[in-house]
Structure 1
Amino acid sequence: MANPSRKKRKRKASVVGAVLKLLFLLLLLSMLAAYIANQVALSSKKAELDTLQEQIDQQKTQNEEMQRILSGDSDDVTEWVARDSYNYAAANERIFVDVTGN
């Protein structure tokens, strides 16, 4: 007949093994959840970076235009201010306004 203390040790070892397997499974699941959360955050930050890069490019274009205008003669600056700030037009000039919202 089997020794009762041996059965207790076997049962205890199987319980400990099951608990360790469960803990390992929980660890894997938490790592998977963290990985997915990081991927979502990374995707969001990449989209934000793309938006900011587009804004930087637009600002650079505006800066270059301003620099070109400011480096020109005073008549160019005066004309730009009149057109941009006061919506003036030159004589016999037609102004077309884009109302499509683009």
Structure 2
Amino acid sequence: CWKWLEGEKIEADNLCNYIDSEDYVDVAEFANKETDVQKQYAWYAVLDAVSYTTYQAYHKEERKYVPQVVEIIDDETLIILGENAIESSYFKMENLEVLKKHLLK
């Protein structure tokens, strides 16, 4: 995702595999399998960041149809990302500000 945010040409479909893959090796699976609550919040914050980046990639590609998993992503996802990050206690506010800046470019 960082590479896409930095301008590298990565297709939205490839980013989407990080949130929903056929082999079940994706961020959503890691989040759902985590048993520690704080770590689970951290995984969900990562999932929100990857999901929002994927949403933006599809928007940039001007795709008329997106995968179902992306249909529910919107700007509200950034608020949820922040809430999950704060609940996890693993993220510093300064880091969230940097992430927000990159995602809102």
TM-score w.r.t. the length of structure 2 is: 0.28
Q: Determine which structure has more spread, i.e. the larger CA radius of gyration.
A: 1
